[in-house]
């Protein structure tokens, strides 16, 4: 949403909890992690923490009663889509789910701007996942209502990065001073692109471990501050014993143009109880999921396996973001 001011459009905001317009995130889009400062993150994590406590205590409450979310997904999703639905419903709001654009007017050739203009007639906020990098920013240019980027191709996945950082903070108590290792498909994995950018706001070191053809894009490495230690590797063994956060990703099969390339790198690294013997006792293993063999299910009961807890933290972060952009936090 660009410069949306409801007062200019003859819309009278509903103000039961004080003036929404005074809320710092009211009406804002969430498009890229580049828009956040460190104090923004502390604010979001504070609200997410409160959401966690409220869900634990009462489950569901009416902060967003009467508000409607349009969940528009042009690419498959399980966690992002259902956690936004759950977040909205736990806050007392409701959801228009469009998970299969094949069955919407998109199949008739409707453009993204027209679909967005349509949905904002019915909803107060739009969550968008789309295969093209920059699509969420494009949608925001046309929309009067807030757009939340739920993954734009190989570009960014800002809400995932926020929940990843929240997971690290809740699990390890701090972010500063940690050694983070990202493993797997760092070229096409949008979650690591967003996470590396967010981590650069803290005092951390990042190791990138990937097959040669799936290295972290040079533009991202160059974009991060020179003061942050970053190192690239093709083997995992030397960095595992140093690592506090191991962030594993799947090889993004759907982004390859050549099947043979995919076959040559799939299964490059597999986390098992055996490999993790070399890891610290007090560290965590994360994964944005879905996993397709990178982490053996035999590792799931290890206390360091944080990937299922990570999904739950995502609910609280998405509740916080919805409340914020709708002026209730
Ligand atoms: N669920 C994450 C995403 O949408 C990770 C993945 O698909 O591998 O980017």
Among 74, 82, 129, 157, the mutation site with the greatest number of ligand 1 atoms within 8 A of its Cβ is 157
> 66: Cβ–Cβ under 8 A, 6 or more apart, which residues?
14, 92, 93
pLDDT of residue 238: 95
279 CB within 6 A, ligand 1:
no
**Whose CA is closest to atom 4 on ligand 1?**
151
191 CB within 6 A, ligand 1:
yes
SS3 for 28?
coil
288 CB within 6 A, ligand 1:
yes
Q: How many Cα neighbours within 13 Å face the side chain of 189?
A: 28
Atom of ligand 1 lying closest to residue 75 CA: 4
The rounded radius of gyration (Å) of the Cα atoms in the chain is 20
pLDDT of residue 1: 60
pLDDT of residue 100: 78
Residue 229's DSSP bridge partners are 205
Atom of ligand 1 lying closest to residue 78 CA: 1
Print pLDDT tens along the chain (329 aa): 644 343 333 333 333 445 565 688 999 999 999 999 999 999 999 999 999 999 999 999 999 999 999 999 999 999 999 999 999 999 999 999 998 787 788 888 899 999 999 999 999 999 999 999 999 999 999 999 999 999 999 999 999 999 999 999 999 999 999 999 999 999 999 999 999 999 999 999 999 999 999 999 999 999 999 999 999 999 999 999 999 999 999 999 999 999 999 999 999 999 999 999 999 999 999 999 999 999 999 999 999 999 999 999 999 999 999 999 999 98
pLDDT of residue 11: 34
Burial class from Cβ neighbours inside 10 Å (0-12, 13-18, 19+) for residue 94 reads: middle
pTM of the model: 0.92
Atom of ligand 1 lying closest to residue 191 CA: 9
**Whose CA is closest to atom 2 on ligand 1?**
288
Among 189, 194, 287, 293, the mutation site with the greatest number of ligand 1 atoms within 8 A of its Cβ is 189
Residue 267, both tokens: 């299964």
Q: How remote is the CA of residue 250 from the centroid of ligand 1, in Å?
A: 8
151 CB within 6 A, ligand 1:
yes
pLDDT of residue 82: 97
pLDDT of residue 290: 97
């Amino acid at each position: 949403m660009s410069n949306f001011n409801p007062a200019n459009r003859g819309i009278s905001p509903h103000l039961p909890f004080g003036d929404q317009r005074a809320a710092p995130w009211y009406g804002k889009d969430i498009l890229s992690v580049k828009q956040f400062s460190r104090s923004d993150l502390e604010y979001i994590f504070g609200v997410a923490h409160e959401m966690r406590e409220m869900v634990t205590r009462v489950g569901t409450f009416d902060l967003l009663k009467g508000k409607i979310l349009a969940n528009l997904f042009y690419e498959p999703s399980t966690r992002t889509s259902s956690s936004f639905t759950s977040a909205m419903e736990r806050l007392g709001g409701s959801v228009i789910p469009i998970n299969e654009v094949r069955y919407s007017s998109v199949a008739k050739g409707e453009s993204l701007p027209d679909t967005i203009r349509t949905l904002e007639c019915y909803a107060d906020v739009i969550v968008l996942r789309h295969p093209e990098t920059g699509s969420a920013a494009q949608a925001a240019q046309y929309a009067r209502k807030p757009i939340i980027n739920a993954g734009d191709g190989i570009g960014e996945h800002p809400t995932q990065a926020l929940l990843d950082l929240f997971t690290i903070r809740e699990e390890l108590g701090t972010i500063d001073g940690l050694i983070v290792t990202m493993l797997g498909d760092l070229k096409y994995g949008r979650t690591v692109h967003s996470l590396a950018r967010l981590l650069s706001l803290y005092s951390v070191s990042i190791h990138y471990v990937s097959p040669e053809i799936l290295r972290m894009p040079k533009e991202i490495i160059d974009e991060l501050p020179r003061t942050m230690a970053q190192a690239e590797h093709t083997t995992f063994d030397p960095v595992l014993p140093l690592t506090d956060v191991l962030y594993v990703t799947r090889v993004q099969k759907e982004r390859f143009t050549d099947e043979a390339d995919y076959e040559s790198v799939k299964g490059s690294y597999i986390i098992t109880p055996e490999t993790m013997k070399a890891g610290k006792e007090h560290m965590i293993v994360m994964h944005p999921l879905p996993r397709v063999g990178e982490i053996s299910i035999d590792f799931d009961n290890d206390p360091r396996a944080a990937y299922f807890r990570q999904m739950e933290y995502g609910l609280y972060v998405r509740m916080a973001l919805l409340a914020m952009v709708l002026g209730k936090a």
